[in-house]
Amino acid sequence: MATAKLPEGLVPAGSSLSFTEDTVPEALQKEHALGPGHWGVLHVFAGTVCFVDLATGTETEVTAPDHAVIQPETPHHLRLAGPVQCRIDFFRKPDDDAPMRTPGSFAEAEVRQSFARCEAAGDFAETFYTTFLNASPAIAPFFAQTEFGRQRKLLRDSVYLMVTHDVSDPEMRALLDKLGNLHSRAGRNIAPKLYELWLDSICATVKELDPEWSQTLEDHWRVRLRAGMQIIMAAY
Ligand code: HEM
């Protein structure tokens, strides 16, 4: 298919998760645009994704195995019509002064503001642990010896850092490496399969506390926190 080519000299700026028709975030299926100086490459590995360019009104079917280049500041959305597997790789103009941006960064402001609304409405960590400890009988035994006053504060601070900092930020990275060790097989032995319950419980907390909750906002929370979560899980 004919789309624009990526300009030379761009640097990689991360990738989305690999999506299926069930997990493509709703935000990508509504009008949105990449920021100035930011490009994307939509890779379609299975099925067909329709790329709708709202600036020109052009609709381009991208059928596997193929890709389409997404230009900066072009309003667009994706449309699905069946099973797909796809991923978006991000690129940006090199800018030595700017910290490395990651895919979760597109939702930074929305998620940060949502977190602030949650904290205004109640105790984020307390609501989270009530949900998380009830999410599965497998969870509570890990916290049998836990001093929850301290634990709630540490959890709140780690979520705050994940919301406000990209995973490439040195402070963030140091925390993720520390948490990776603590949760690893040699530490608390937290099996990777338990992490979806963690993320679901965070999202349930947001839904309970944020009066402006929406499914799109939840998708933003998931993309933003998953990047850090995967680094902790990878240390297992
Ligand atoms: C991205 C996901 C997660 C984050 C950000 C996170 C965050 C934290 C933080 C900040 C601490 C305290 C660290 C410290 O003592 O210095 C902690 C401890 C702990 N976490 Fe997680 N956690 C995550 C996932 C999980 C999951 C899935 C489980 C499963 C049960 C879990 C179980 C524990 C346990 C057992 C402790 C130790 C509690 C204690 O000291 O008694 N965590 N976690």
* Tens-digit pLDDT profile for residues 141-166: 999 999 999 999 999 999 999 998 88
| Residue 229 reports pLDDT greater than 70 | yes
Gap from CA of 94 to ligand 1 centroid (Å): 36
- Which of 24-38, 43-57, 95-109, 205-219 is least confident? 95-109
CATH number for the 104-234 domain, one of 1.10.357.10, 1.20.140.10, 3.90.1490.10, 1.10.490.10?
1.10.490.10
List, for residues 16-35, the tens digit of each pLDDT value.
878 899 888 888 998 988 98
Between 110 and 201, the more confident residue is 201
Which one, of 148, 152, 150, 146, lies nearest residue 119 by Cα? 152
89-142 pLDDT per residue, tens: 888 887 655 544 554 466 788 999 999 999 999 999 999 999 999 999 999 999
User: What's the average model confidence in pLDDT over 190-217?
Assistant: 94
Instruction: Please give the Cα distance from 182 to 160 (Å, whole number).
Output: 19
pLDDT exceeds 50 at position 4: yes
Rounded to an integer, what distance in angstroms lies between the CA atom of residue 111 and that of residue 122? Answer: 16
Per-residue CA distances from 74 to 133, 181, 211 (Å): 44, 41, 31
Q: Is the distance from the beta carbon of residue 163 to the nearest atom of ligand 1 less than 6 Å?
A: no
The structure's pTM equals 0.66
Which atom, in ligand 1's list, is nearest to the CA of 228?
Answer: 1
Those residues whose C-beta lies under 8 Å from the C-beta of residue 116, and which sit 6 or more positions away, are: none
For ligand 1, atom 16, name the residue with the nearest CA.
154
Comparing C-alpha atoms, which of 15, 64, 74 is closest to residue 41? 15
The CATH number, out of the four listed (2.60.120.10, 3.40.630.10, 3.40.50.1970, 3.30.70.1170), of the domain defined by the range 11-98: 2.60.120.10
How remote is the CA of residue 8 from the centroid of ligand 1, in Å?
Answer: 43
Task: Quote the CA–CA distance of 47 and 24 in Å, as a whole number.
Answer: 13
Mean pLDDT taken over the chain: 88
Determine the atom of ligand 1 nearest the C-alpha atom of 162.
Answer: 5
Q: Give the residue extent of every domain in the chain.
A: 11-98, 104-234
